[in-house]
Every structure is written in structure tokens, then in C-alpha cells.
A and B are shown apart, each in its own frame.
Chain A
Amino acid sequence: MSSLNVQNATVQIGEKILLDDVSISVAPGEVVTVLGPNGAGKSTLMKVISGELKPTSGKVIMNNKSDWDLQQQALMLGVLPQSSSLSFPFTTEEVVILGRIPCSSDRTENLAVVEAALSEVDGLHLKDHQYTTLSGGERQRVHMARVLAQIWDEPEFGKRYLLLDEPTSALDPAHQQLTLKMARKQAEKGVGVLVILHDLNLSARYSDRLVILKEGGIAAQGTPYEVLTAETIKSVFNVDVTISEHPAHACPLVINN
């Protein structure tokens, strides 16, 4: 069965253990959210999955294989980083079409995908704007569109996965909802989504499963109901909360005391 599997990944740099024997899996069609305080190893986990960082021990298996060719991997795995350093005056369209680099489609098709991807993130009106003049949140959405364009079509050799590292950090509440709805929509199309979030309620509402990291190890994982308990949140985040039922959706609601 196709899935994205992290098996017993440990990352040690010098004396410091950044990731301690972490195993998680993401199946096509589900949204898995990674939560955890700052420095818990969330971004390290992302880097291990994307292949940017080689784990000291353990491995990452995507669609039953761990040594994909970089270009094939790019067609199956889209990665949205926390922030980007792009400082050249590309237009939005030119930035998004960079996502099509690993794809072998022609320019007409690429432009069509770019338009579709931009409308997914409510960014079509930014198409001809210069990227360097956009606000932080707009830039984040443009990169989201770029990553969507990258894994737009399912390749014949495997299922697709999407890694989103704090995709809502620079967004207003409306666009936070929009982005996570978009992540759900991708999951419905058969993409496995792994997302790092800080907002417990957003994660409760949009995820199938949650993974909580603490000091490099897994503190809890399971459905939102299983994971978001007052005890777990107290022990991991050191905040006192009350867990209630969301009045409009079938998910827990975390209320700060």
C-alpha cells in the first residue's frame, strides 16, 4: 500500500538530539497535522521527510521506496517552506510556473495549471503583480500555488504528498480557513497531506489525525478527540485548557482557561 512512512527517524547534531526515534505515516487522502512547542523538532521532521536532512538513523519510505530519483520525488512530493528568500522581481505567474520545472508538460498546459493553482489559493488577481511588492501573506499563498502546481497531476509511478510548514503563519483568519480547506480538498483528490500548525482548533477541525512532538519525540498521536485532552496539552504546552465540543462541527474545541 502506498504511503509516506517515517521509520524510527533520529537526528543528532553534535550532542543535541533534534529528533528522537520518530515514526509516523501519512496515507493518501488524509490530513495529518504535526503540533508541538517551538524547538520540538517539527521543522526537522519536515526536512527529514523532504530529504533535505539525512537522519542519523532510521529512514523515510515514500510509496514503498526510499531512494527516489530527485525529479521523480519532486513530482510526488510538494514542500511549502515557512518562508522564502526570493528577492528578484518575478511576476506572480513566473513564480508559480517555477513549480512546473520537474513536469514535462508544455507551456500552454503549464499556464493553465498556474491559473488553476492560483485560484485555489485566492490569488488569481495577483497573477501579473510583481512578487516583491506583495505582502507576507500574499507571498505565502503564491508559494502555496507554486507547490500545488508542482504536484498538480498524479504521476503513474506513485501517489502524491504535500508537506506544509506553518502555511497559515502569515495569513489573516479568512485565508487560514481557505488554506486548510484547500489542504482538505487536496486530500479528497488522493494527496496525503502533512501540515505543521500552531493553532490547536484549526488542527482539530481540519485534520484526520494529529501528532504532537515534544523535545524531539512523539508525545501523542491519534484522532483529534484522542490527542487533544487537557492533560496532554498541559504536559506538552504548559497551558491550562478546557476541552469542549465544537458547536457547529464534529470536532473538539480547545478553550484557554
Chain B
Amino acid sequence: MNRSRKSALLLIVLAVALPAVIVLSIGTGPVSISPLDIVSIFLDRLGITASAVSDQTRLIVESIRLPRTLMGVMIGSSLAVAGASMQGLFRNPLADPSIIGVSSGAALGAGIAIVLGGVLFSGVSNTLMLDYSVSLLAFAGGVLTTWIVYKMGTTNNGTSVATMLLAGVAISALAGAGMGILNYVADDATLRNLTFWQMGSIGGANWNSVLLCFTLLGPVIFMLCRYGQVLNAMLLGESEARHLGIDVQRTKLKLILVTAMAVGVSVSVAGIIGFVGLVVPHLIRLMVGPDHRTLLPASAMLGGILLLAADMIARTAVAPAELPIGIVTALMGAPFFMSLLWQQRKRIA
């Protein structure tokens, strides 16, 4: 089977699997809910009465599981599609928001907003507006770090893995110090918030955060998915892309802003969830090759699927307690990253 057939097939399979995993995720937890009941609740909302469902089940689905699942899908999608775009932009398959320091930078921005928010946005009382302001600062932190890493790591011959990773280490250390200061000055309640959020979790999902994700991440995912052909050209090199008629400077600026938006908003609502942006595009490339026209939409869908899977593990592995999802993705992703480094060690040296 040639690659274009495989790509079409993969996109269809993912498009079928994503809703299935969403239903599975809504059904999984301390109270398990059958897919039939979940579908009934949805249909009921649309005005079609199917089988009767207890009010308790309805409440669990509508105010806990559904927002959590929807937020998980949006965050998984954005992280994966942002990872795929960054790898294209950096012309380097090892770029990932958490590895090159973008997540840390965004986290510092969000941390500043969380701890000092009371002072910075004292006039704002609406909680949704406060959530947006946290996202805004996370976005600013993300833009700044992406730009720094890009400037430091990229030459005309692509990015040097070593420089890129070292820049990531340096930025993460700096952002870590900043977070340390914030931890130090935070009061007890804020500190608990901060600590839990830093480990990464989508347990705090509510309809406010879902709204935030859909209004900010939805357009970002959609936009990035349209950059397929442009990113393909960018893989050839910046001057080659220019010779193919692409306005490279503008494209770079847009990509940096949009990927930072994806990472910044994800970090602001769910903390640092690492390695999704690395693992997902790699899996897709293994299946259908590096063509971004397939890679981007397929990563978006698989990212959502994998994050929900990780969240189901986080919810059930140590039930009734819950693992932060960032720990689950790191446990799965870090060994994967090490194996990639192992394969590439000759090229890095």
C-alpha cells in the first residue's frame, strides 16, 4: 500500500477512534457508566428522549466527566499538533514543547498570573476573565521561550539538536528558579494550587476551562492543520522554502505565535503535560511518513486519543486517589525520548 492510501486510511481510523475513546473516557471512573447511557444523555440534550438515565449518572457525566474529557481532547490535540509544527519549524524531529523549555516558559508566565494575579488583575472579579488572563501570560512566556530557543538553535543548516536541547535546559532552569521564587512568596492556599497544577492535571476541568479551550485552542488547532504544505517546504530549508514562493519570515512568526498559543493555553489550564508533542507525531511518521498534510490532522486526533488514555490511567491506576496526568505522560514519554536519542546519538555527536 502506498503512503497516500495509508494516510487516508489512518485519518479515517482516527476519526472513528476519537469519538469512541471519548465515550470510553466518559464511562471510566469510580462509577462506570455504560456507553448506551452516555449516548442517551447526549440525545436527551438534543431533545430526543431515549432510555431513562438516573439523575446522579446525568450529573456525573455533565458536570465532571464530560468537561474533563473535552478538555483532555483539546489539550492532547493542541500539544500534539504544536509538537508536530515545532518539529517542522525547527526541522528537527526531537523538538517538543516540554523538552525545549517552551512549557516551562509558559508555566512561569501562568505561575506569575496565579500567584500575583490578585495584585496584577485586582480589578477583575469574573473568574472566567481571570482564567483568560492566566492563559495570556502563559502565552507570553511561551512566545518568548520559543523565540529564544529558535534564535539560539537555528542556523541556515537546520537546528543543532545539541544547541536546541541545551537552550531548553537553560530556559527550564531559569523558569524553574522563577517558579521557586513564586512558591516561596505564595500563601498556603495558592501554594497547594500551584504545586498540583505544576505536575499537570486535567482533574480541575470545569465548563469555564472547557470554554477557554474551545475558544482559544480550537482556532489554533484548525490553523496549524492548514500549514501542512508550508511546513513540508520548510523542511527543505528556509531559503529553499523561499524559492518555492513561501514568505518564510511571516510564516515563522505566525508559527511561533500559534504554537506558543497552543502550549501556553494548555499549560495554563492543565500544567505541564510533557512528551505528547514528541511521541504522537513520531508514531504518525512511523505509520505514514513525514508529510505534514497528513501528519498535522492525524497528530491532532491521536494526541486527543492518547491524552484521554493517559488520563484514564491517571484516574484508575491508584483509585480512589488520582495520579497527576503529567506523571503518566512523563513515565510513558521519557523512555520513548531516550530511545530516540539513542537512535540518533551518532548524529548528535
Contacts and interface: CB of A to CB of B under 8 A. Distances in A.
Contacts, number: 76
A135 interface: no
B285 A89 contact: yes
Of A47, A50, A87, A89, most B-chain CB atoms within 10 Å = A87
A90 B91 CA distance: 13
Interface residues of B, number: 25
Nearest to A53: B239
Contacts of B240: 79, 81, 84
Interface stretch (B51-59, B244-252, B266-274, B311-319): B244-252
B83 to A, nearest CB: 14
Contact of B236 (A73, A74, A78, A98): A98
Contacts of B206: none
A85 B243 CA distance: 15
Given A74-B244, A94-B289, A87 B158 contact: yes
Contacts of A81: 237, 239-240
B237 A71 contact: no
Contacts of A99: 244
Interface in B95-137: none
A101 B229 contact: yes
Interface residues of A, number: 29
A90 B289 contact: yes
Interface string B1-39: 001000000000000000000000000000000000000
A36 B53 CA distance: 83
A86 B235 contact: yes
Q: For the complex of A and B, list the 6 residue pairs with the smallest distance between their C-beta atoms, beginning with the closest.
A: A74-B245, A71-B245, A102-B245, A88-B290, A85-B158, A79-B243
Given A87-B93, A94-B3, A101-B246, 9 more contacts: A70-B247, A73-B245, A84-B236, A85-B91, A86-B237, A91-B3, A91-B289, A101-B233, A102-B245
Interface of A: 47, 50-52, 70-75, 77-79, 81, 84-91, 94-95, 98-99, 101-102, 150
